């Protein structure tokens, strides 16, 4: 601990109008360490990162780099000082191809290519326009671009949040090696597994102030959570499958039944059912067709074959409004896809109420207020900056996307990675919420990139690989190893514990396995 | 290949439309020849520069309502400076006016950056300012242009190695246009500055975070727009031999051609070739309407309808061309 | 039945005067019986745009081009090319600098001088005048300004209270006069560049003191001169039918009857309502059936041969 | 010591004032308007009287209604350049049809092209995704063409301004322009619609993030089609009001109002990129522009200088306003 810090920030403050994003934050990073920055949603992590890297200006505070006080006024200046960020939102220019994006930032191409390969993307076409690249890959490219210039301090803001397990693993591996190579990394994540696997120390923020710096050691998690949230939280295993689960009993029809769904080359003969009061998980590696499956169920894209049934009746969706009419709500993983960023929290939540032609008339403001506030309360959305959703922290924005459908009282909710970038406390809330919804006879289809979540919330896990349902596990059997095996398309060894689906449609497993 | 089509398909389609129109023209007027093509090139000249001026700021995510006024001001300035002056003096006038366009354009950019007022309002304000300035320079149309300048857009260029009949199809005006545009556009397009212009138009925040100096890039984009505007103004003076303080119909025409040319209003997408071809298309349509002696009131209807129809058609094939199953 | 194709180029669209000019051209072409087809390029544009139109007409191989120039000097190159191609060129309404072109034009300087002089006399040779010009920077406007200034120089005690540009647009003119009246500045006369009826309307609406008004021979204003109480004013003719005269001249030249000189000027007349004689003249020309923006002088003796029905029908040969 | 008790943090007063204004963006706009009126009064003492106010209102009202069309379309990220043509068409058709037709029939005939153009705009933008600027520019060209053709057919029958429109356009009752009778309900309706109806919500939502609106079940084309029809209808009604005010049907009657209507909306704080703005600001924006026009008419300076000044004032007003309401 005798080495002097590479980066030392103290007393950093930033106000947005009435909102104090940062009050008194400090952060000190030693050479060669991987330093976690932790805090609940809205604690000010991203704001601190933006200040350190010159994207916004602090109202107060002192920042020393290698003991020198530097005035970093722009990301370009930060880059010259050896500080390179990967922000929470992708920073590639959407209309330029990857190569041009590299030239724009003066990034050497060959090291970039090497890093991309290292990070688990063997076949990147660098003439592809960024707009056409999936979000997860973009995040990785963003990281590779930063790595390619070998920065002294690499700042990663929720780098792994949008990544599927396989890519996240690679990223962690690479970041780890950065530390070993003597470079420092500031690592923001809400996932404790990653923190404990990767980081040396952690700085914890609460309400814009640094409340502690700790060494990462086994069992420290409880401490951190306590610091982050100010209170001790009950880390319960919410799951404990609801009693009504597999009682997709004889008489009651499934809420949602998908038969032989086909979508170009993306989805192939997908069949499964979602029962009333069930939370079914979908687990898959990146790009196995899960995006398309959700989009098709939500009425966003039209399947090329197969059928969808709701409550036993066949439906055809030509627009999301059809799905909504059938009681199916879709929460996309990318919140910029779901929110009107300049509008208020209230308007965003109430948006579906006005969608139909017959709802274009005068709004009953009082009733709306009641419905919206109860949804806000239920998800504990931090409404200090509620005038415009874009001013909420990333996690709170995510909550608004869910609150909308709680307010609209949707009967079936398709959640695509809803806990992306959400802090531990809130995650627990969301798990509980999903279980509660199931208890109220609602159904949830839940895609997640975190294995742990699947086990915690779901009654059943559907695994997708290469556009096919390869296996279905009751939650008891959904241990990490078997889920991973299935997700990589490997056949299940024993045939004794066949999933529910297999009984419905014999042979589908055999097909997938071959 | 599919990416080429995705990126360049619009321009290619537009070019096909142009060729088609040339065939139509030849059918309507079998005597349509190289001289008439020269006329077309001269008619295209001011529009093309106006469109180039507009294109560059639209790519940078802005819009320039002051294009036509900029042309008027530079045109009257050039015309009044050359009035009664010697032929050689024009050698000084041309760079002076170009520099003036560059500076005034940069001023647009500076005002946008400093006041943080939306582009559309700033350039609307400068539209009035430049118009007023043009009126102060010349209260009524007048002035003059040097003879060598006027000659620079008339006739054809003998190119060694080309047979005469082919030479006849290379009007000076076209060559001048190509040279002026390429001298600026080609090096720009390949440079980091060019990428920065696309970047700020595509996503300003991401550009800023990628280390692009957003303010400076915006100012440069407007400065280049001013430079193209000055070229447009000079081309007006050169072709008419006078300067007129009332702006011509170049503003809306430039916006229309930019969109027809496949440059997205909003920024980040497209190039210069498409809009220039679009200008040729629009001018040739006018020629055809005149050749056909269509009722002039109907020509307004036809021009409007063509503009809408082409863009609608483009939108339609874009919708159809989406990957299987996708909906608009 | 005719043998000639005549091309027409005009650069202001949607303005009553210009529309009448086009209709006069069509009517005269039809009435002459010598024209097979008119080829009209008629749109809002500048000198460069008119050059384009003229060159397109050359490509279309017309026999003659009748042009209302956007600018006297700005289209010289195009007119020269036309003459070289053996096309007869006639400019109407304004002069052009191209020496080979024939010109038949309203005398714009004289137009302003005549009206202004009458106005200043009516004002008793002294007082304040509200000077409502046309479009800043247009060549017809600067010609008229010369005439106005000439008259002003003859009346040293007349002062310009305020000078505005109406842009030849009714709404702007009306807003300007209303704002001006609201200031309460006393004036003794108003000279307008042909945007006249809205000015009288404004005076009536605001119950402002009536002062002498000079305008053009637009149907609306001419009607007001005979009907609005207390209005003293004069209409100076600026016939849009000059277009028909241009067609006649072009046909004469095509038939080999070249006029003695290149330029034919149609001198304006002034119709006032201050004398009984003037009132009688006004009564005889009033035509409430025309659009208020159309000049009432729908024909020019010796130069046009069409009937009122023909110009109002606005149909050319073959239509 | 006592100082600090009586005067707690003097800095925060300015900040509080700023925040106060930021929360109520109308107040700084009104202040700017008042400043302009005061300048006017200082330049021409006595001008600001009842009559002047009535006159200003008369001219501001048509502008404000057209600016309302722009506000609504701009909220969705669009723009409606066809309002000038639509207003002109209804005015011209009304004035010519009233000669031979029953007033009610004439009115219906006058509104017909408005609905048609609105419908075409809506379908073009909402279904075919043509850029609104191009779409409305195109339909306005087409509309103008049709109007010119139509004009030919009615020259013989002449035109007349119905007395009612005359009364509405120019009349004053107890010092209040009668046009307020039309404007008040229209303004209240627009404000109510934008703030308190589902349709208003959707305009904002669609303009802010179309995909999000879609995922919430909003059908884009429905919203857009309804919007452009509404905008056109308002423009048509404005045309009738305007013809009552100007009393001279011409083919370019309302064209000069188009750019100012966009400017009024932008000055009033509506974003041309969509999702942000409101109608009250627009109304004041229209008043500001009208007062500014008077101010410049009054100034005894060359036309060129006047235009320059106008440009700078528009820029200054917008910049000052943005500075004040920005809370950062
Ligand atoms: N532009 C802005 N305007 C107003 N408030 C803002 C703005 N940006 C951030 N805030 C507020 O500042 C606080 C901190 O936000 P920040 O994005 O730093 O949180 P975070 O710790 O990164 O949260 P998350 O884990 O959810 O990403 C939040 O309350 C947020 O609402
Ligand atoms: N304008 C509104 N303000 C507040 N809450 C609303 C509003 N509109 C709908 N809701 C709430 O959203 C939920 C679902 O409404 P929705 O209108 O979709 O139901 P529905 O079954 O279609 O009802 P209906 O057939 O009566 O329209 C209800 O709980 C209702 O209370
Ligand atoms: Mg964050
Ligand atoms: Mg319902």
Domain of D92, CATH number, reads 1.10.3470
* Nearest ligand to the CA atom of A368: 2
Count the residues in chain D. 328
Contact C236, C212 (CB under 8 A): no
**Domain membership flag for residue D189:** yes
pTM: 0.83
Angle between helix axes D11-23 and D303-325 (nearest 10 degrees) is 110
pLDDT range class, residue D230, cuts 50, 70, 90: very high
pLDDT range class, residue C138, cuts 50, 70, 90: confident
Query: Can you list the pairs that D122-127 forms with residues at least 24 positions away whose Cβ atoms lie under 8 Å?
Result: D122/D221, D122/D224, D122/D225, D122/D226, D122/D227, D122/D228, D122/D229, D123/D221, D123/D225, D124/B308, D124/B312, D125/D78, D125/D224, D125/D228, D126/D220, D126/D221, D126/D222, D126/D223, D126/D224, D126/D225, D126/D228, D127/D221, D127/D225
Edge-to-edge strand ranges of the sheet holding A305-310? A267-274, A256-263, A305-310, A313-315
Which pairing describes strands C233-236 and C270-272: parallel, antiparallel, or unpaired?
antiparallel
Quote the pLDDT of residue B167.
78
Quote the pLDDT of residue A395.
82
Instruction: Give the minimum alpha-carbon distance from D174 to chain B in angstroms, rounded to a whole number.
Output: 37
Q: What does the pLDDT look like over C256-278, one tens digit per residue?
A: 988 888 888 888 889 998 888 88
Quote the pLDDT of residue A231.
60
Among A232, A356, A254, CA closest to A308 = A254
Centre of ligand 4 from the C-alpha of residue A325, in Å: 6
Instruction: Give the minimum alpha-carbon distance from A319 to chain D in angstroms, rounded to a whole number.
Output: 7
Q: Detail the DSSP E strand segments found in A264-326.
A: 267-274, 279-283, 305-310, 313-315
Centre of ligand 3 from the C-alpha of residue A400, in Å: 15
Count the residues in chain B. 328
Encoded tokens for C250 = 């072009």
The pLDDT of residue B174 is above 90: yes
Q: Could you give all domains of chain B from N- to C-terminal order, each with its CATH number?
A: 2-320 (1.10.3470)
CB pairs under 8 A between B and D: 142
* Domain range for D267: 26-325
Q: Can you tell me the ipTM of this complex? A: 0.80
Phi-psi region of C194 (alpha: psi -120 to 50; beta: other; left: phi over 0): left
Contact C56, B287 (CB under 8 A): yes
**Domain membership flag for residue D6:** no
C65 strand-pairing partners? C7, C89
C172 vs D108, more confident: D108
**Domain membership flag for residue D19:** no
Q: Taking CB atoms and an 8 Å limit, are D155 and C290 in contact across chains? A: yes
The pLDDT of residue D207 is above 70: yes
Quote the pLDDT of residue A507.
39
CATH-assigned architecture of domain A250-327+411-478: 3-Layer(aba) Sandwich (3.40)
Q: What does the pLDDT look like over B19-34, one tens digit per residue?
A: 999 999 999 989 888 8
Q: Taking CB atoms and an 8 Å limit, are B307 and D134 in contact across chains? A: yes
Encoded tokens for B218 = 């915006």
Q: Taking CB atoms and an 8 Å limit, are A17 and D19 in contact across chains? A: yes
Angle between helix axes B34-59 and B192-202 (nearest 10 degrees) is 70
The pLDDT of residue D41 is above 60: yes
Instruction: Give the minimum alpha-carbon distance from B226 to chain C in angstroms, rounded to a whole number.
Output: 20
- The label of the residue with tokens 């500048």 reads C46
Edge-to-edge strand ranges of the sheet holding A328-331? A328-331, A412-416, A443-448, A279-283, A460-465, A468-474
Instruction: Give the minimum alpha-carbon distance from C241 to chain B in angstroms, rounded to a whole number.
Output: 19
Q: What does the pLDDT look like over D245-260, one tens digit per residue?
A: 888 888 888 888 998 8
Q: What span, in angstroms and rounded, lies between the C-alpha atoms of D202 and D224?
A: 10
Q: What span, in angstroms and rounded, lies between the C-alpha atoms of A138 and B203?
A: 15
Centre of ligand 3 from the C-alpha of residue A49, in Å: 9
Task: Report the first-to-last Cα separation within chain A, whole angstroms.
Answer: 56
Contact A80, B211 (CB under 8 A): no
Q: What span, in angstroms and rounded, lies between the C-alpha atoms of A382 and A425?
A: 13
Quote the pLDDT of residue A512.
39
Quote the pLDDT of residue A499.
36
Q: What span, in angstroms and rounded, lies between the C-alpha atoms of B81 and A405?
A: 69
Quote the pLDDT of residue B324.
34
Quote the pLDDT of residue D3.
40
Q: What span, in angstroms and rounded, lies between the C-alpha atoms of A145 and A142?
A: 5
Subunit partners of chain C (3 or more CB pairs within 8 A): B, D
Other CB atoms within a 10 A radius of the CB of residue C294 amount to 24
Task: Report the first-to-last Cα separation within chain D, whole angstroms.
Answer: 32
The pLDDT of residue B45 is above 80: yes
Among D4, D146, D38, CA closest to D85 = D146
C-alpha dist (Å) from residue A449 to A175, A335, A419, A484, D28: 19, 16, 9, 11, 50
pLDDT range class, residue B320, cuts 50, 70, 90: low
Quote the pLDDT of residue B200.
95
Centre of ligand 2 from the C-alpha of residue C75, in Å: 68
Quote the pLDDT of residue B222.
97
Q: Domain extents for chain A?
A: 7-216, 250-327+411-478, 339-354+364-410
Of the ranges A352-356, C216-220, D299-303, which one carries the lowest mean pLDDT score? D299-303
Does the beta carbon of A371 lie inside 6 Å of ligand 2?
yes
Does the beta carbon of A353 lie inside 6 Å of ligand 2?
yes
Among A494, A495, A470, CA closest to A483 = A470
Among B107, B118, B132, CA closest to B246 = B132
Q: What span, in angstroms and rounded, lies between the C-alpha atoms of C210 and C229?
A: 9
Contact A51, A235 (CB under 8 A): no
D221 close to A (CB below 8 A)? no
**Phi, psi (rounded to 5 degrees) for A167:** -70, -40
C130 strand-pairing partners? C162, C190
Q: Number of folded domains in chain D? A: 1
Centre of ligand 4 from the C-alpha of residue D255, in Å: 45
Which residues, numbered 118 to 177 in chain B, qualify as contacts with chain A under a Cβ-Cβ cut-off of 8 Å?
none
Contacts of D86 (CB under 8 A, 6+ apart): D113, D114, D117, D118, D140, D143, D232, D235, D236, D239
Q: Taking CB atoms and an 8 Å limit, are D156 and C179 in contact across chains? A: no
Mean pLDDT by 10 residues, chain A (514 residues): 80 83 92 90 88 91 88 87 87 91 92 92 89 88 92 90 82 88 89 86 92 88 80 49 45 84 88 91 83 92 91 91 93 88 93 92 94 91 82 86 92 89 80 88 88 84 89 85 78 47 37 38
Q: Which atom of ligand 2 is nearest to the CA of A410?
A: 14
The pLDDT of residue B68 is above 80: yes
Task: Report the first-to-last Cα separation within chain C, whole angstroms.
Answer: 13
Among B301, B45, B61, CA closest to B181 = B45
Quote the pLDDT of residue A450.
76
**Phi, psi (rounded to 5 degrees) for B221:** -60, -45
pLDDT range class, residue B302, cuts 50, 70, 90: confident
Q: Taking CB atoms and an 8 Å limit, are B195 and A300 in contact across chains? A: no
Q: What span, in angstroms and rounded, lies between the C-alpha atoms of A330 and D26?
A: 38
Task: Report the first-to-last Cα separation within chain B, whole angstroms.
Answer: 24
Q: Taking CB atoms and an 8 Å limit, are C135 and B246 in contact across chains? A: yes
A7-216 domain in CATH 3.30.360.10? Answer: no
- The label of the residue with tokens 């998690």 reads A221
Average pLDDT, chain B: 88
| C136, C170, C179 member nearest D250 (Cβ) | C170
């Amino acid at each position: 601990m005798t080495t002097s810090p590479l980066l030392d920030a103290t007393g950093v403050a930033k106000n947005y109008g009435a909102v104090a994003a940062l009050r008194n934050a400090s952060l000190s990073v030693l050479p060669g360490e991987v330093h976690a920055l932790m805090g609940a949603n809205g604690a000010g992590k991203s704001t601190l990162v933006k200040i350190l890297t010159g994207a916004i200006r602090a109202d107060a505070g002192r920042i020393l780099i290698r003991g020198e006080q530097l005035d970093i006024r722009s990301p370009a200046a930060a880059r010259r000082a050896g500080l390179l960020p990967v922000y929470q939102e992708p920073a590639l220019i959407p209309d330029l191809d990857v190569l041009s994006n590299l030239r724009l930032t003066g990034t050497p191409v060959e090291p970039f290519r090497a890093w991309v390969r290292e990070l688990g993307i063997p076949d990147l076409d660098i003439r592809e326009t960024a707009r056409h690249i999936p979000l997860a890959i973009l995040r990785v490219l963003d990281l590779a671009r930063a790595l390619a210039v070998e920065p002294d301090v690499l700042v990663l803001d929720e780098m792994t949040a949008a990544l599927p397990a396989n890519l996240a693993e690679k990223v962690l591996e690479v970041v780890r090696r950065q530390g070993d190579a003597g470079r420092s990394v500031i690592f923001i994540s809400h996932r404790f597994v990653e923190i404990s696997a990767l980081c040396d120390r952690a700085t914890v923020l609460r309400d814009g102030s640094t409340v502690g710096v700790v060494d990462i050691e086994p069992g420290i998690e409880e401490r951190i959570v306590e610091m982050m949230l100010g209170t001790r939280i009950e880390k319960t295993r919410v799951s404990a499958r609801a009693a009504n689960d597999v009682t997709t009993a004889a008489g009651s029809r499934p809420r949602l039944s998908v038969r032989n769904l086909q979508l170009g080359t993306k989805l192939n003969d997908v069949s499964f059912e979602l029962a009333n009061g069930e939370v079914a998980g979908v687990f898959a590696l990146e790009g196995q067709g899960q995006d398309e499956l959700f989009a098709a169920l939500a009425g966003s894209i039209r399947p090329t074959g197969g059928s969808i049934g709701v409550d036993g009746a066949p439906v055809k969706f030509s627009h999301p409004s059809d799905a909504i009419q059938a009681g199916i709500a879709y929460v996309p993983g990318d919140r910029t896809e779901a929110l009107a960023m300049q509008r208020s929290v209230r308007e965003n939540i109430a948006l579906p109420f006005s969608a139909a032609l017959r709802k274009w008339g005068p709004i009953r403001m009082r009733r709306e207020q009641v419905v919206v506030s109860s949804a806000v309360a239920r998800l504990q959305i931090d409404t200090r900056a509620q005038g415009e959703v874009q001013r909420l922290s990333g996690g709170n924005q995510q909550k608004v996307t869910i609150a909308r459908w709680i307010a609209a009282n949707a009967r079936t909710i398709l959640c695509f990675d809803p806990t992306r970038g959400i802090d531990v406390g809130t995650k627990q809330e969301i798990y509980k919420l999903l279980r509660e919804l199931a208890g109220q006879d609602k159904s949830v289809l839940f895609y997640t990139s975190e294995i742990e979540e699947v086990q915690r919330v779901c009654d059943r896990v559907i695994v997708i690989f290469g556009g096919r349902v390869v296996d279905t596990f009751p939650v008891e059997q959904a241990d990490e190893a078997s889920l991973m095996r299935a997700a990589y398309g490997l056949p299940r060894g024993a045939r004794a514990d066949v999933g529910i689906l297999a009984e419905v449609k014999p042979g589908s497993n055999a097909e997938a396995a071959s | 290949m599919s990416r080429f089509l995705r990126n360049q398909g619009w321009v290619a389609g537009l070019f096909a439309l142009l060729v088609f129109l040339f065939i139509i023209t030849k059918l309507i007027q079998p005597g349509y020849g190289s001289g008439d093509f020269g006329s077309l090139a001269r008619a295209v000249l001011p529009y093309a520069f106006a469109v180039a001026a507009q294109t560059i700021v639209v790519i940078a995510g802005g819009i320039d309502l002051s294009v036509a006024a900029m042309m008027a001001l530079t045109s009257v300035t050039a015309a009044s400076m050359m009035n009664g002056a010697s032929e050689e003096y024009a050698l000084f006038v041309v760079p002076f006016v170009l520099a003036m366009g560059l500076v005034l354009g940069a001023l647009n950019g500076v005002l946008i950056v400093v006041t943080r007022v939306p582009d559309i309002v700033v350039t609307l304000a400068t539209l009035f300012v430049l118009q007023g300035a043009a009126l102060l320079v010349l209260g009524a149309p007048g002035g003059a242009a040097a003879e060598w300048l006027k000659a620079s857009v008339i006739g054809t260029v003998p190119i060694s190695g080309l047979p005469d009949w082919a030479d006849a199809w290379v009007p000076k005006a076209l060559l001048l246009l190509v040279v002026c545009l390429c001298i600026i556009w080609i090096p720009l397009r390949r440079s980091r500055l060019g990428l920065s212009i696309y970047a700020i138009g595509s996503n300003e925040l991401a550009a800023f975070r990628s280390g692009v100096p957003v303010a400076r890039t915006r100012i440069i984009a407007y400065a280049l727009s001013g430079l193209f505007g000055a070229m447009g103004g000079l081309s007006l003076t050169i072709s008419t031999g006078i300067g007129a303080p009332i702006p011509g119909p170049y503003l809306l025409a430039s916006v229309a051609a930019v969109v027809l040319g496949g440059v997205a209003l909003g920024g980040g997408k497209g190039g210069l070739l498409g809009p220039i071809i679009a200008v040729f298309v629009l001018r040739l349509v006018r020629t055809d309407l005149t050749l056909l002696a269509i009722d002039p009131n109907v020509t307004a209807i036809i021009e409007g309808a063509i503009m809408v129809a082409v863009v609608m058609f483009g939108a339609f094939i874009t919708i159809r061309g989406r990957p299987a199953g996708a909906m608009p | 039945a005719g043998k000639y194709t005549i091309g027409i180029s005009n650069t202001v669209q949607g303005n009553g005067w210009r529309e009448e000019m086009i209709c006069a051209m069509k009517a005269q072409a039809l009435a002459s019986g010598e024209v097979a087809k008119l080829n009209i390029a008629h749109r809002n544009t500048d000198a460069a745009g008119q050059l384009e139109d003229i060159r397109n007409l050359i490509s279309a191989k017309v026999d003659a081009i009748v042009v209302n120039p956007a600018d006297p000097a700005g289209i010289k190159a195009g007119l020269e090319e036309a003459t070289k191609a053996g096309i007869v060129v006639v400019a109407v309404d304004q002069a052009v600098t191209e020496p080979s072109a024939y010109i038949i034009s309203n005398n714009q300087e004289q137009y302003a001088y005549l009206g202004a002089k009458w106005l200043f006399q009516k004002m008793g040779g002294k007082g304040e005048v509200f000077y409502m010009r046309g479009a800043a920077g247009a060549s017809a406007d600067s010609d008229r300004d010369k005439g106005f200034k000439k008259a002003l120089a003859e009346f040293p005690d007349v002062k310009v209270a305020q000078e505005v540009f109406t842009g030849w647009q009714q709404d702007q003119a009306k807003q300007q006069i209303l704002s001006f009246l609201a200031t309460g500045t006393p004036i003794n006369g108003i000279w307008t560049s042909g945007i006249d009826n809205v000015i009288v309307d404004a005076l009536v609406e605001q119950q402002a003191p009536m002062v002498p008004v000079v305008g053009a021979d637009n149907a609306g204003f001419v009607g007001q001169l005979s009907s609005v109480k207390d209005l003293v004013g004069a209409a100076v003719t600026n016939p849009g039918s000059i277009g028909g005269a241009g067609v006649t001249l072009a046909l004469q030249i095509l038939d080999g009857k070249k006029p003695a000189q290149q330029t034919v000027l149609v001198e304006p007349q002034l119709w006032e309502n201050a004398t009984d004689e003037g009132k009688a003249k006004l009564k005889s020309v009033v035509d409430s059936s025309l659009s208020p923006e159309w000049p009432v002088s729908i024909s020019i003796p010796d130069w046009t041969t069409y009937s009122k029905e023909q110009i109002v029908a606005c149909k050319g040969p073959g239509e | 010591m006592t100082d600090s008790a009586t005067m707690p943090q003097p800095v925060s007063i300015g900040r509080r004032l700023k925040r106060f204004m930021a929360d109520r963006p109308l107040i700084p706009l009104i202040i700017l308007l008042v400043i302009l009126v005061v300048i006017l009064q200082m330049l021409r003492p006595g001008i600001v009287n009842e009559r002047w106010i009535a006159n200003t209102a008369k001219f501001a009202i048509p502008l404000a209604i057209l600016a309302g069309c722009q506000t609504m379309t701009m909220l969705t990220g669009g723009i409606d350049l066809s309002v000038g043509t639509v207003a002109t068409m209804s005015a011209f058709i009304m004035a010519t049809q009233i000669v031979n037709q029953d007033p009610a029939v004439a009115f219906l005939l006058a509104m017909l092209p408005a609905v048609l153009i609105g419908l075409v705009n809506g379908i073009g933008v909402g279904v075919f995704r043509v850029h609104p600027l191009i779409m409305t520019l195109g339909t306005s060209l087409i509309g103008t063409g049709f109007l010119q053709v139509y004009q030919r057919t009615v020259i013989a029958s002449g035109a007349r301004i119905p007395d009612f429109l005359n009364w509405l356009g120019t009349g004053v009752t107890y010092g209040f322009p009668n046009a307020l009778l039309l404007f008040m309900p229209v303004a209240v309706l627009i404000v109510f619609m934008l703030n308190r109806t589902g349709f208003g919500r959707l305009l904002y939502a669609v303009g802010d993030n179309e995909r999000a609106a879609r995922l919430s079940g909003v059908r884009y084309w429905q919203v857009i089609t309804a919007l452009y029809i509404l905008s056109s209808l308002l423009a048509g009604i404005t045309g009738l009001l305007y013809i009552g005010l100007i009393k001279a049907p011409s083919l370019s009657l309302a064209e000069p109002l188009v750019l100012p209507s966009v400017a009024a909306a932008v000055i009033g704080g509506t974003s041309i990129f969509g999702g942000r703005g409101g109608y009250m600001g627009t109304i004041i924006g229209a008043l500001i522009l009208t007062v500014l026009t008077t101010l410049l008419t009054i100034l005894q300076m060359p036309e060129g200088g006047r235009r320059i000044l106008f440009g700078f004032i528009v820029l200054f007003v917008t910049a000052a306003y943005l500075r004040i309401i920005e809370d950062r």
